[in-house]
Amino acid sequence: MPESTMIRFLQLLPQVSPKGEFLLKDLPGSGKRIDVLCRGLAACFEWAPMTWPKSSLEMIAIIGGTKILRFKEPANQKFEGELEWAIAIKDSLRGEPSGFITVATGTLEDVIQELNKPPVSALWVLDEKGSKLSEVPDVHSAPQNSFMLGDHRGFDSQTMDVISKYKIPKISLGRKSYLSSHCLAAIISEFERTVR
């Protein structure tokens, strides 16, 4: 098992404005469910890891199909709750990212081509109808593992076509549909239990 395993989450938010045009007081409505990403970030960098080093976690968000935000551990800044993450996302999309966030222009296919490089970097889709996590032996073996998450509606048909084109394996955490922040926490917990 590689000691320096990196876990990445790839959150797709095709409905969200890539210009950061949303109200901080109405993240789900005006933000077209930007709250999903805020909660995912809070899970990833605030409350989910118990033993897993936050420096070995990354979150990538594809916003509106065109903007790619990458989040590393905000080591010198303490974030608490959805609103603080929403402010950081908005500033980034408006051209003023904090040091731990990078912003680029690109598509889902660009990100897939970067992350889907087995055996070094494995990419998985989190999907209720996929194979059971416990029955996928390879999931912990790559030095880098990335997990793709849909928004509140799951994956749109264009995304499903791309997933099929690249034959990205689907992993299920059970037949019930969970919040993506819950899925992210479950994956971190699974790695904490099985990898180190």
Ligand X SMILES: C[S@@+](CC[C@H](N)C(=O)[O-])C[C@H]1O[C@@H](n2cnc3c(N)ncnc32)[C@H](O)[C@@H]1O
> For residues 33 and 70, which CB has a smaller minimum distance to ligand X in the complex?
33
> For residues 29 and 174, which CB has a smaller minimum distance to ligand X in the complex?
174
Could you tell me the smallest distance in angstroms from the CB atom of residue 142 to ligand X?
A: 19
Could you tell me the smallest distance in angstroms from the CB atom of residue 92 to ligand X?
A: 22
Could you tell me the smallest distance in angstroms from the CB atom of residue 124 to ligand X?
A: 10
Burial of 54 (0-12, 13-18, 19+ CB in 10 A): middle
Give how far Cα 41 sits from Cα of 6, 82, 169, Å: 16, 8, 24
Residue 58 backbone zone (phi > 0: left; psi -120 to 50: alpha; other: beta): beta
Could you tell me the smallest distance in angstroms from the CB atom of residue 149 to ligand X?
A: 4
Could you tell me the smallest distance in angstroms from the CB atom of residue 133 to ligand X?
A: 8
> For residues 101 and 126, which CB has a smaller minimum distance to ligand X in the complex?
126
> Structure tokens of 83?
């609103």
> For residues 153 and 167, which CB has a smaller minimum distance to ligand X in the complex?
153
Give how far Cα 179 sits from Cα of 151, 182, 184, Å: 9, 5, 9
Q: Provide the binding-site residues for ligand X, judged by CB under 6 A.
A: 126-128, 149-150, 152-155, 172-174, 176-180, 183
Q: Which residue shows structure tokens 């690109």?
A: 106
- The span from the CA of 145 to the CA of 139, in Å, is 7
Residue nearest to ligand X (CB): 150
> Structure tokens of 143?
């030095």
- End-to-end, the C-alpha distance of the chain in Å comes to 9
Could you tell me the smallest distance in angstroms from the CB atom of residue 174 to ligand X?
A: 5
> For residues 77 and 134, which CB has a smaller minimum distance to ligand X in the complex?
134
> For residues 57 and 187, which CB has a smaller minimum distance to ligand X in the complex?
187
- The span from the CA of 103 to the CA of 106, in Å, is 10
